[in-house]
């Protein structure tokens, strides 16, 4: 099961049992008490309605259904044309996903009161330069009407939040990094949500970042899922340098793909190895001056990091105040300043460090990451633009990524759902939000299929037929006729909550179908003609079915404005409205066609044979 799939809690099961008790015990008892006098008076008045009608409302509904069904019951061509039209609507609705009118995403963007700007500077940048670049970015952002204030964290990470937890931002430190915490007005006091605001901020600060030669990412505090980034490409292979070279090609594809922004990789700042200076001690020169290697190392440590020389007496302080001896920042910020530092020799003379050491220039080791004990290099990016779900970015880059070659000249193996098993070969795996999306929708689909099978066998046991349950369950996919167009034309992502709404509608629609089919069977057992039983089923069961749908619509309106559960509300409302309307027509018609085929009801209707229209 995916990380967002959870078993039904005990309290939910208890609520269902309690609701059944209310429906089967309390509601009938209250109905008997409240409407007994009305029923007795109704019987005494001796109302006369059309055959099969029990109330004035059912009388009107009976006439409506009779006018609606009579042409369909008399003409096989019209019946098949209606069913074909319904199937066509279903295919057109599903085609909206292929045409990208309906966009699939794990979870929609939430409307938060903050965004985070993550700044990375090139290797060798001083903390002062990083802080100046951060101030320049803050000055660009803080004049926007939605912004209340901007907090700058130079050389360290910002406050611990969701991004810091799942994207490891809380581990950022050093002179090359800075975080900007951009705080926004409350939701009801600004016109733009945080997501469109973040898109505009990204375009606004791009020239500033280019001026400072900085890598800047605009990140939102998402509702999930917990991933390193929206789009993550994992490069596997035995050689670090070859993996980095392959990652560089993947990153280039990322940067040249429209809608893919904030491209980065976890191989060091800007991908270039950090410079490193090594001071090799000349043992012979140091020995002639009476200086040991330990003295040289201690002098450099004190110069750079400082050392505690004593304690300051302060009666107002609750704890001891240490006195730290350290070189001035201007002197320790350059190699010449450090080499000018002197070390006391054995004769009391001062010997400059430049006479005792040899400077060697080199580079630091690259960052090394492992996943499932396999070495990996990460390429990261975000999605912004028309299609903001990672699956569309992956589809746009698919051909260019598949055209890449492994270091040995073979085609690069690209995987979407599983990790490579051969650590000696080079491969790339799509991870990030796409992987979570795939797992969640896959697991919910499997669970839904299992539930459908259980419902089928349950209905088979009740109706003693293998075909009737298929007719009863036929309206389940018809909910998509309402769900998908509503998501597409309403500009709502089809998310995991939308999938939950689709699954929840299955039980409601099956219940409506069972009501109709069971009523038709009861009428046939009482001697009704098949045609009359079909018409009466729609008229009599219309009100309970529509009231159930109306109750669900009203309940869905409560969560319609919530950005996270908006997909659930849209799925419930649109799906139940369209599916209910189709169920009241399609199910009686399909059951009629089935019974006519197998011959059931032919005896009762023998006096009025069906007239087929060619």
pLDDT score for 408 = 82
Is residue 122 pLDDT above 90, yes or no?
A: no
The residue ranges of DSSP E strands in 185-336, in sequence order, are 215-220, 231-236, 260-265, 275-281, 307-312, 321-325
| pLDDT bracket for residue 270 (50, 70, 90) | low
> Residue 542 above 80 pLDDT?
yes
| Residue 115 lies in domain | 111-221
> Between vectors from CA 556 to CA 555 and to CA 561, what angle results, nearest 5°?
125
pTM: predicted TM-score of the whole model, two decimal places:
0.75
Q: For residue 483, name the pLDDT band (cuts at 50, 70, 90).
A: very high
CATH number for the domain that contains residue 543:
1.20.1640.10
Work out the pLDDT band at 100, boundaries 50, 70, 90.
Answer: confident
The whole-angstrom separation of Cα 374 and Cα 235 is: 10
Are 235 and 396 a contacting pair, CB within 8 Å?
no
Residue 602 pLDDT > 70:
no
Q: Report the residue count for the chain.
A: 614
Indicate if the pLDDT at residue 5 is higher than 70. no
Number of domains in the chain: 3
| pLDDT of 235 | 93
Specify whether 164 is located in the same domain as 195.
Answer: yes
CA of 486: how far to CAs of 479, 490, 499, 571, in Å? Answer: 11, 6, 14, 8
> Bridge partners of 428?
235, 414
pLDDT in tens, 196-215: 899 899 999 999 999 999 98
Same domain for 549 and 588, yes or no, is: yes
Cα R_g (the chain), whole angstroms: 36
The answer on pLDDT for 279 being more than 70 is: yes
On whether residue 544 sits in a domain, the answer given is yes
Mean pLDDT of the chain: 83
Examine the domain organization and report whether 205 and 318 are in the same domain: no
pLDDT one-digit tens code per residue, 428-474: 999 988 888 888 888 888 988 998 999 899 889 888 889 999 999 98
Q: Which of 280, 271, 419 is nearest to 362 (CA)?
A: 280
Same domain for 593 and 475: yes
Contact 481, 582 (CB under 8 A): yes
Same domain for 163 and 65: no
Residue 21's pLDDT is: 79
pLDDT tens per residue, range 344-371: 887 778 888 888 888 888 777 777 888 8
Which long-range contacts does 158-167 make (Cβ < 8 Å, 24+ apart)?
Answer: 158/116, 161/116, 161/221, 162/221, 162/222, 163/116, 163/219, 163/221, 163/222, 165/226, 166/226, 166/227, 166/228, 167/219, 167/227, 167/228, 167/229
Whether the CB-CB separation of 335 and 357 falls below 8 Å is answered with no
Residues 498 and 582 in one domain: yes
Within-domain flag for 40: no
CATH of the domain at 155: 3.30.70.1430
- Are residues 401 and 247 in contact, defined by beta-carbon separation less than 8 angstroms? no
Residue with tokens 């560089």: 248
Query: Does 69 share its domain with 150?
Result: no
pLDDT score, position 41: 66
Reported as a pLDDT band with limits 50, 70 and 90, residue 606 is very low
- Residue 332 neighbours by CB distance under 10 Å: 17
Q: Which CATH number goes with the domain that contains 324?
A: 3.30.2090.10
Indicate if 571 and 479 belong to the same structural domain.
yes
Q: What's the pLDDT tens digit per position in 231-243?
A: 899 999 888 889 9
Each residue's pLDDT tens digit, 171-195: 888 888 999 999 999 988 888 888 8
pLDDT of residue 67: 85
Q: Rounded to an integer, what distance in angstroms lies between the CA atom of residue 40 and that of residue 258?
A: 73
Strands 342-344 and 350-352, sheet pairing? antiparallel
pLDDT value for 272: 65
Q: What is the pLDDT of residue 8?
A: 45
Distance CA 253, CA 257 (A): 6
Looking up tokens 């009976």 gives: 62
> Under 8 Å CB-to-CB from 8, ≥6 apart: which residues?
none
| Mean pLDDT within 411-417 | 86
In the predicted structure, residue 304 carries a pLDDT above the cut 70: yes
Do both 298 and 208 map to the same domain?
Answer: no
pLDDT at 89: 92
Give the C-alpha separation, 106 to 94, whole Å: 18
Q: Is residue 425 part of a domain?
A: no
């Amino acid at each position: 099961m995916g990380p967002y799939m959870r078993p039904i809690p005990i309290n939910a099961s208890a609520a269902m049992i309690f609701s059944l008790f209310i429906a089967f015990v309390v509601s009938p008892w209250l109905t008997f008490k409240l409407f007994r006098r009305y029923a007795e008076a109704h019987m005494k008045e001796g109302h006369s309605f059309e055959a099969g009608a029990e109330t004035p409302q059912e009388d009107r509904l009976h006439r409506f259904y009779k006018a609606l069904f009579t042409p369909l019951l008399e003409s096989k061509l019209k019946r098949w044309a209606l069913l074909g039209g319904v199937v066509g609507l279903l295919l057109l609705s599903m085609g909206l996903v292929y045409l990208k009118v309906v966009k699939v995403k794990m979870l929609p963007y939430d409307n938060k009161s903050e965004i985070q700007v993550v700044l990375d500077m090139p290797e060798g940048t001083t903390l002062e330069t990083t802080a100046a670049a951060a101030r320049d970015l803050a000055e660009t952002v803080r004049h926007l009407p939605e912004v209340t204030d901007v907090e700058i964290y130079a050389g360290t990470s910002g406050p611990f939040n969701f991004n810091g937890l799942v994207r490891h931002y809380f581990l950022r430190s050093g002179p090359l990094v800075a975080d900007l915490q951009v705080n926004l007005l409350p939701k009801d006091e600004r016109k733009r949500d945080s997501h469109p605001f973040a898109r505009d901020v990204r375009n606004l600060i791009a020239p500033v970042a280019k001026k400072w030669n900085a890598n800047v990412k605009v990140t939102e505090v998402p509702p999930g899922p917990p991933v390193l980034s929206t789009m993550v490409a994992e490069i596997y292979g035995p050689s670090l340098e070859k993996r980095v070279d392959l990652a560089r090609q993947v990153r280039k594809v990322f940067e040249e793909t429209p809608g893919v922004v904030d491209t980065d990789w976890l191989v060091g700042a800007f991908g270039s190895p950090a410079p490193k200076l090594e001071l090799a001690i000349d043992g012979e020169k140091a020995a002639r001056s009476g200086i040991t290697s330990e003295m040289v190392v201690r002098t450099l440590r004190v110069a750079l990091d400082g050392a505690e020389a004593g304690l300051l007496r302060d009666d107002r302080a609750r704890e001891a105040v240490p006195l730290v001896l350290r070189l001035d920042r201007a002197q320790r910020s350059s190699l010449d300043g450090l080499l000018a530092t002197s070390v006391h020799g054995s004769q009391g003379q001062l010997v400059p460090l430049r006479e005792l050491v040899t400077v060697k220039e080199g580079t630091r080791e690259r960052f090394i990451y492992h996943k499932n004990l396999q070495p990996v290099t990460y390429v990261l990016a975000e999605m912004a633009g028309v299609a903001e779900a990672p699956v569309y970015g992956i589809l746009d880059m698919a051909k260019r990524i598949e055209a890449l070659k492994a270091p040995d000249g073979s085609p690069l193996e690209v995987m979407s759902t599983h990790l490579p098993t051969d650590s000696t070969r080079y491969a790339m795996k799509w991870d990030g939000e796409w992987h979570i999306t795939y797992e969640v929708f896959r697991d919910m689909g499997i669970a839904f299929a299992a539930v459908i099978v259980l419902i089928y066998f349950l209905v088979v046991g009740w109706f003693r037929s293998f075909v009737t349950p298929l007719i009863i369950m036929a309206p389940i996919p018809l909910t998509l006729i309402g769900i998908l167009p509503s998501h597409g034309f309403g500009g709502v992502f089809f998310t995991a909550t939308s999938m939950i709404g689709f699954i929840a509608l299955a039980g409601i629609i099956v219940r409506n179908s069972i009501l109709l089919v069971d009523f038709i069977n009861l009428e046939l057992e009482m001697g009704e003609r098949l045609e009359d039983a079909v018409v009466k089923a729609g008229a009599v069961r219309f009100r309970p079915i529509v009231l159930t749908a109306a109750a669900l619509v009203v309940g869905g309106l409560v969560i319609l404005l919530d950005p996270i559960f908006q997909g659930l509300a849209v799925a419930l409302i649109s799906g139940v409205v369209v599916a209910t309307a189709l169920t009241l027509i399609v199910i009686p018609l399909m059951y009629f066609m089935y019974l006519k085929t197998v011959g059931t009801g032919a005896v009762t209707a023998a006096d009025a044979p069906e007239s087929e229209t060619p």
